[in-house]
């Protein structure tokens, strides 16, 4: 029986605004990120879900807690839904990475799926971790509606799985903070229902223009 999984990327963080590599380190939500989480919570309150699962990293956990003030769902944490580990590169801007670790920067830009970032993980390792975690969740909650709050590259891996995309190809789609995406998972069959919905953030965009 298929499981409907609705995926939310966490709200904007301080390191998002500074273009720093977050990986599995924590960076707090900005005021904008908190408002994004509140707005996506309002949008999700118009839907029904059976359970809420989030990454245990603070930016995702906090986004989930804010959303759940509108939904009051049982909330579980899953470390396998964490962002990719960028090892020794975490906390750096891409400019700092290019200057201090030029070899790692070039390897990162080449997008070799097997390249393991020092003290971190490869794209292939991330893909295996994420897709296995999602299929385990779908197996645990058959014929259910599961809400997940996670990270950008987790969403990316889900899209690559759904469309059988080669992991060495750069993505050609956006992953916005607090966007809504939905998938139907039936065993090894993944289907995209919606991607990157951000209509609920229109009022926030207006606020930013004032």
In tens, the pLDDT along 6-37 reads 999 999 999 999 999 999 999 999 999 999 99
72: alpha, beta or left? (left if phi > 0; alpha if psi -120 to 50):
left
Active-site residue identified among 4, 10, 156, 200: 10
Over residues 37-59, the pLDDT tens digits come to 999 999 999 999 999 999 999 99
Angle at 29 between CA 62 and CA 149, to 5 degrees: 40
The pTM for the full model equals 0.94
> How would you classify the pairing of strands 145-150 and 51-54?
parallel
Which residues lie below 8 Å from residue 92, measured CB to CB, with a gap of 6+? 20, 21, 100
Check: CB of residue 179 under 8 Å from CB of residue 198: yes
* Domain locations in the chain as residue ranges: 3-85+121-209
Active site residue 75: no
Tell me the residue ranges of DSSP E strands in the chain.
Answer: 3-9, 51-54, 75-77, 145-150, 180-186, 189-197
Active-site residue identified among 4, 12, 62, 83: 83
Q: 3-85+121-209 belongs to which homologous superfamily? A: Phosphoglycerate mutase-like (3.40.50.1240)
Which residues lie below 8 Å from residue 189, measured CB to CB, with a gap of 6+? none
Active site residue 139: no
Over residues 118-129, the pLDDT tens digits come to 999 999 999 999
């Amino acid at each position: 029986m298929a499981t409907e999984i609705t995926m939310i990327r966490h709200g904007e963080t301080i390191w998002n605004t500074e273009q720093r590599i977050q990986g599995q380190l924590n960076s707090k939500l900005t005021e904008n990120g908190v408002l994004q989480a509140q707005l996506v919570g309002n949008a999700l309150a118009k839907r029904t879900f059976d359970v809420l699962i989030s990454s245990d990293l603070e930016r995702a956990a906090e986004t989930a807690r804010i959303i759940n003030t509108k939904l009051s769902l049982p909330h579980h944490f899953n470390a396998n839904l964490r962002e990719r580990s960028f090892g020794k590169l975490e906390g750096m801007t891409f400019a700092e990475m290019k200057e201090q670790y030029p070899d790692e920067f070039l390897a990162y830009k080449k997008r070799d799926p097997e390249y393991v970032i020092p003290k971190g993980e490869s794209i292939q390792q991330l893909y295996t971790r994420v897709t296995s975690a999602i299929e385990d969740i779908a197996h645990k909650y058959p014929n259910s509606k599961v809400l997940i709050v996670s990270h950008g590259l987790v969403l990316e891996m889900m899209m690559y799985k759904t469309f059988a995309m080669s992991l060495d190809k750069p993505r050609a789609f956006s992953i916005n903070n607090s966007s809504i995406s939905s998938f139907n998972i039936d065993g090894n069959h993944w289907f995209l229902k919606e991607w990157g919905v951000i209509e609920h953030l229109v009022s926030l965009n207006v606020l930013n223009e004032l």
